[in-house]
Homo-oligomer: A and B are copies of this chain.
Amino acid sequence: MVGNNKFIAVIGGSQPSAKETRLAEAVGRELAKQGAIVVCGGLGGVMEATCKGASSEGGVTVGILPGDSRESANPYVQIPIVTGMGYARNVAVVKSAQAVIAIGGNYGTLSEISYALANGIPVIGLKTWSLSKNGKQDNSITIVQSPAEAVSKALSLAVNQ
């Protein structure tokens, strides 16, 4: 079923704007078309829109949940992972992916971006955080302008680890 398919995480907030929702759904569709498996935090908002998009193209979706019940997963999660570990599950979302696409997002998303960069996992950003330290811009996030470009970059930068 899986074989050489790539695992790509899509991260973002649970209360996205309408535009972020459309971007997420388009990213999900494109990932599925390219044969990638979607990994996410399993809840609503960007996570749900991505899973919905992927499912509409017959893709596989994995949701790594913070709580104690699979029933908290959005309806498009096919493989719910129930961690019971709260925000600590963000580490697993990122580590289970070979590249990460960030769409919008709040501080939870920023923690996932941080974990990915700390682990050498490429981060592709669509309308998301940008970082600087001591007044100097950090360019570790690959900025893109469209869902197609996000998926293309994610697949080409994906690491094996």
Contacts and interface: CB of A to CB of B under 8 A. Distances in A.
A111 B91 CA distance: 10
Interface string A28-48: 000000000100000000000
A120 to B, nearest CB: 10
Interface string A119-136: 100000001111111110
Contacts of A160: 70-71
- Taking the full assembly, how many copies of this chain does it contain? 4
A42 to B, nearest CB: 11
* Interface size class, chain A: 35 or more
Interface centre among A80, A85, A113 (most CB of B within 10 A): A85
A139 interface: no
Given A84-B91, A88-B91, A79 B37 contact: yes
A142 interface: no
B111 A95 contact: no
B92 A81 contact: yes
Interface in A77-130: 78-88, 91-92, 95-96, 104-108, 110-111, 113-115, 117-119, 127-130
Interface of A: 1-2, 7, 37, 60, 62, 64, 68-71, 78-88, 91-92, 95-96, 104-108, 110-111, 113-115, 117-119, 127-135, 160-161
